[in-house]
Structure 1
Amino acid sequence: MKNKYIDLIDQTYYFPQEEFTLDDNKLLFHNIDLMQLVEEYGAPLKFTYLPQISNNINKAKSWFKKAIEKHNYGGQYNYCYCTKSSHFEHVLTEALKNNIHIETSSAIDINIVNNLISQNKITKDNYIICNGFKREAYIKNIADLINGGHEKCVPIIDNYEELNLLDEAIDRDFSVGIRIASEEEPKFEFYTSRLGIGYRNIVPFYNREIKDNEKVTLKMLHFFINTGIRDTAYYWNELLKCLKVYIQLRKICPTVDSLNIGGGFPIKNSLAFNYDYEYMVDEIINQIKNACDEAEVPVPHIFTEFGSFTVGESGGAVYEVLYQKQQNDREKWNMINSSFITTLPDTWAISKRFILLPLNRWNDEYERVLLGGLTCDSDDYYNSEQNMNAIYLPKFNKNKPLYIGFFNTGAYQETIGGFGGLQHCLIPTPKHILIDRDENGEITTKLFAEQQTAEQLLKILGYND
C-alpha cells in the first residue's frame, strides 16, 4: 500500500520539478539543502534566494525578445522592477545587475533611488517610472531627481492636479506618462480603478493641459488591471481599449512612443501551477502590432513593471511543527513555532496560498491536518493548498521533529507584515537569511537579520528608554 508522503506527491503531481527535488528523504530547493539551513540557523526563519530574481528577469526578457523578433515588432522592450513588492537593498541590488529599470510608488522610493545612484547601481540610463497618487513630498523628490539631470525619470499622471504640481516644482523640460483608469472585472467590488484618468478623458486632458505646454512632453501611456495578465476575454478587451487610446493619442501627439502594460505576471502557487508565459507575451506583442498596423501608427516601446514575478519566487519561510492538537474526531491541528498573520500576512488578509512542503520525513506515512499559528487569534491558521481543499503532511511524531516550508513568499510579506516593527501578540519576526551563489556556483549564506528580541519590541512600545 502506497501511504507515504512521497507516494502522495508522486500520485498527485509531476515530481521532481525544476526547483524542488529530493535527496535522502529531504527536500532540496534549487539544490539547497534546507534541513542543513535549519541545522545551521534554526527555525522559524525566512530566506531569500537571490539568483532566482535574476533568473526570472532574464526569462521575461527572453520571452519578449523572441516575440519581438517573431512579429518583426518595431519597438523596444524595457523591464522595470516594481519596488513596492520588496524594497530591500539586497533585492534591488540583485535586480539591477540585469540592465533593468525601476517603478516607484511613493516619496521614500525616490530616497532609495538616490541611495542607489550614489552607489552607481542606478545611472541616468535607467528609467525611473513614478506611479502612485502624488502629494508634496513625492512631487518634491521627483522634481529634485529631474532637476538634477535624470531625464529618464517619468512621472505618471494619476489625477488632473498632478501635472500642475510637477510643472511648478520642475525647472526644466520633462516627460510624463498618463495612467488609464481601467475598468475592473465584472465580479470586482467597484467598476473603475481609483488610479489614473478615465479612457474618455485622456485625449481631452492632453489637448487641454499638455499639448501647448512647451515644457512638458507626453511620452507614455500606462495600463494596468488588478487581475493581472491572464488569458481571459476581460484582459484582452481591456488591452484593446487601451490600444484605442494609444492610437488616438499617437495620431495627434507623435512624442507618445511608449506603452506601459504594468505588472501582473502570476507566480507559482502550487505544484500543479500551469501558465504559458511565452504564449501570453507573444499574443500581447501580436495584438499591439496588429492594432497599430491597422491604424497606421508606429508601434510603441513596451514597458512592464513586474514586482511579484521578479521577487516572489526567491522567498521562503521555514517553521517547525511543535505539537499536534486533536480538537474533535476529524480535525488535527499542527501548531507551528511562529504566526501566519505576522510572517505570511497575505494568507490571513486575502486568503493567498503558497507552495507548502515538508522539509524532511518524506518517507513517513501522511495525514490530513490543519496548521495553526502561535497567536491567540482565531484567524491565525492555514487550512488548504491552492489546488486542493486540504493539507497533507507526514504524521506528527513528537520524537521525530517535522519542519515545513512555504515557498515563493518573497513579494509583499515583509512590508505588509511590518518587518522590524510590532507584531500581533508580540510574536517576533523570524531571522532572515540571504542565499546566493559565488563565482563557482557554490551556495553561500548570510544572516541578514536576527530574530526580533523582547528588548526591541519593548523599546517600540515605549517601555525602554
Structure 2
Amino acid sequence: MNTKYIDLIDQTYHFPSEEFDLVDRQLQFHGIDLMSLVQEYGSPLKFTYLPKISENINRAKGWFETAFAKADYQATYRYCYCTKSSHFKHVLDEALKNDIHIETSSAFDINIVKSLKASGKITKDTYVVCNGFKRDLYIENIADLINSGQHNCIPVIDNLEELPLLQQATEKKFKVGIRIASEEEPKFEFYTSRLGIGYKNIQAFYKNQIEGNDQVELKMLHFFINTGIRDTAYYWNELHKCLKVYIQLKKMCPSLDSLNIGGGFPIKNSLAYEFDYQYMVEEIVSQIKLVCEDSGVEVPHLFTEFGSFTVGESGGAIYKILHQKQQNDREKWSMINSSFITTLPDSWAISKRFILLPLNRWHDEYERVLLGGLTCDSDDYYNSEQNVNAIYLPKYHKDKPLYIGFFNTGAYQESIGGYGGLQHCLIPNPKHVLIERDENGEIQTRIFREQQTSEQMLNILGY
C-alpha cells in the first residue's frame, strides 16, 4: 500500500516541477538545499530568492515581445513594478536590473523613488506611474519629482479634485493619466471600484479640466480590475469597455497614446496550478489591435504594473513542527514554531493558499493534520491546501523533527504583517535570509535581518 508522503505527491501532482525537486530525499527549491539553509540559519526562517524576480520580469517581457511580433503590433511595451507588493531595497535593486519602470501608490513611495534616483538605479527617463488617492504629501512629493526633471512621471488621476491640486503644487508642464473606475464582478459587495473615475464621467472630465490646459498633457488611460487578468467573460467585457473609452478619448486628444492594463497576473498556489500566460498576453494584444483598427486609431503603447507576479514567487517561509495535539478522534493539530498571523497574514485574513511542502521525511508515512500557530488566537491556523481543506504531511514523531516550507510568499506578507513592528501576541518576525547567485551560478546567502528581539518590541511599546 502506498502510504509514504512521496507516494501521495507522485500520484497527485506532476513532480518534480520547474522549481521543486528531491535530492538525497530532501526538498530543493530552484536548486537550493533547504535543509542546509535551516542547519545554517535555524527556523523559523524567511527567505527571498532574488534571481526569481529577474526571471519573472523577463518571462513577461518575452510574452509581450512574442505577442507584439505575432500581431504585428506597432507600439512599445513597458514593464512597471508595483512597489506596494514589496518595498524592500533588495527587491527594487534586483528588479531594476532589467530595464523596467516604477508604479507607486502613496507619498512615501516617492521617497523611495528619490533614493533610487540618487543612487543611479533609475534615471530621469524612467517612467514613474503614480496611482492611488492623492492628497497633501503625495501631491507635494509628485510635484517635487516633476520639478526635479522626472519628465516621465505620470500621476494617474483618481478623482476629480486631484488635477487642480497638482497644478497648484508645480508650475511645470506635466503628463497625466486617467484611471477608469471598473465595474466589479456580480459577487462583489459593491458595483463599481472606488478607484478611478466612472466610465460616463471621463469625457466630461477631459473637456472640463484637460482640454485647452497648456500645463497638462494627457498620455495614459489606466485600466485594472480587482480579480486580475483571467480568461473570463467578465475580464474581456471590461477590457472592451475600456477600449471603447480609449478610442473615444483618442479621437478627442491626439496626445493620448498609452494604455495601462494594470497588474493581476496570478502566481502559483499549488503544484497543480496551470495558467497559460502566453495565450492571455497574445489575446489581450490581438483584441486591442483589432478594436483600434476597426475604429481607425493607432494602437496604444502598453504598460503593465505587475507586483505579485514580479516578487511573489521569490519568497518562502520555513517552520519546524514543534508538537502535535490530538484534540479529538479526528483532528490533529501540528504546531509550528511561529505564527501565521505574524508571518503569513494573507493565509488567515483572506484565506489565501500558498504552496506547502515538507523539507524532509518524504519517505515516511503521511497523515492529515491542521497547522496551528503559537498565538493564543483561534484564527492563527492554516487549513486551506489544495486537497479540499486538508493538509497532508509526514507523520509527527517527537524524535524525528519535521520542517515545512510555504512557498511563493514574497508579495505583501511583510508589509501587511507590519514588518519590524509590533506583532500579535508579540511573536517576533523571524530571521530573513537573501539568496543570490554569483557570476558562476553558485548560490550565495546572507542575512538581511536577524529575528526580532524583545528589546525592539519593548522600545516600540514605550518600556
- The TM-score range, normalised by the shorter chain, is over 0.9
Matched, 1:388 2:402: no
Matches within 5 A, 1:319-334: 319-334=319-334
Give the Cα separation in 1 of the matches to 2:316 and 2:348: 17
Give the Cα separation in 1 of the matches to 2:44 and 2:392: 20
Matches within 5 A, 1:2-401: 2-401=2-401
1:98 CA drift (Å): 0.2
Deviations 1:20-53 (A, max 9, x none): 0001110000000000000000000100000000
- Quickly say closer, same or farther: Cα 1:275–1:120, change in 2 above 3 A: same
- Quickly say closer, same or farther: Cα 1:387–1:301, change in 2 above 3 A: farther
TM-score by length of 1: 0.99
Give the Cα separation in 1 of the matches to 2:225 and 2:204: 22
Give the Cα separation in 2 of the matches to 1:401 and 1:460: 35
Query: Which residue of structure 2 aligns with residue 424 of structure 1?
Result: 424
Identical aligned pairs, as a percentage?
76
Give the Cα separation in 2 of the matches to 1:62 and 1:387: 33
- Contact 1:354–1:386 (CA<8 Å) still a contact in 2? no
Give the Cα separation in 2 of the matches to 1:386 and 1:227: 20
- Contact 2:432–2:451 (CA<8 Å) still a contact in 1? yes
Deviations 1:58-107 (A, max 9, x none): 00000000000000001110000000000000000000000000000000
Give the Cα separation in 1 of the matches to 2:342 and 2:190: 29
Give the Cα separation in 1 of the matches to 2:324 and 2:339: 16
- Contact 2:261–2:304 (CA<8 Å) still a contact in 1? yes
1:384 CA drift (Å): 2.7
- Contact 1:180–1:198 (CA<8 Å) still a contact in 2? yes
- Contact 1:57–1:98 (CA<8 Å) still a contact in 2? yes
The alignment partner of 1:180 has SS state of strand
1:387 CA drift (Å): 4.9
1:288 CA drift (Å): 0.2
Give the Cα separation in 1 of the matches to 2:9 and 2:104: 40
Q: For this pair of structures, how many residues does the alignment match?
A: 463
1:399 CA drift (Å): 0.4
Give the Cα separation in 2 of the matches to 1:413 and 1:287: 35
Give the Cα separation in 2 of the matches to 1:177 and 1:170: 17
Deviations 1:358-389 (A, max 9, x none): 00000000000000000000000011313532
- Contact 1:270–1:387 (CA<8 Å) still a contact in 2? no
- Contact 2:351–2:384 (CA<8 Å) still a contact in 1? no
- Contact 1:177–1:218 (CA<8 Å) still a contact in 2? yes
The alignment partner of 2:181 has SS state of coil
Runs of 4+ in structure 1 displaced over 4 angstroms? none
Give the Cα separation in 2 of the matches to 1:319 and 1:343: 10
- Contact 2:321–2:337 (CA<8 Å) still a contact in 1? yes
Give the Cα separation in 1 of the matches to 2:164 and 2:31: 53
The alignment partner of 1:73 has SS state of coil
- Contact 1:272–1:387 (CA<8 Å) still a contact in 2? no
Give the Cα separation in 1 of the matches to 2:125 and 2:70: 27
Q: Which amino acid aligns with 2:149?
A: G
The alignment partner of 1:371 has SS state of strand
Give the Cα separation in 2 of the matches to 1:375 and 1:146: 47
TM-score by length of 2: 1.00
The alignment partner of 1:144 has SS state of helix
- Contact 1:270–1:355 (CA<8 Å) still a contact in 2? yes
Deviations 1:199-233 (A, max 9, x none): 01101110111001011000000000000000000
- Contact 2:352–2:384 (CA<8 Å) still a contact in 1? no
Give the Cα separation in 2 of the matches to 1:457 and 1:195: 36
Give the Cα separation in 2 of the matches to 1:118 and 1:148: 11
Q: Which amino acid aligns with 2:43?
A: A
1:2 CA drift (Å): 1.1
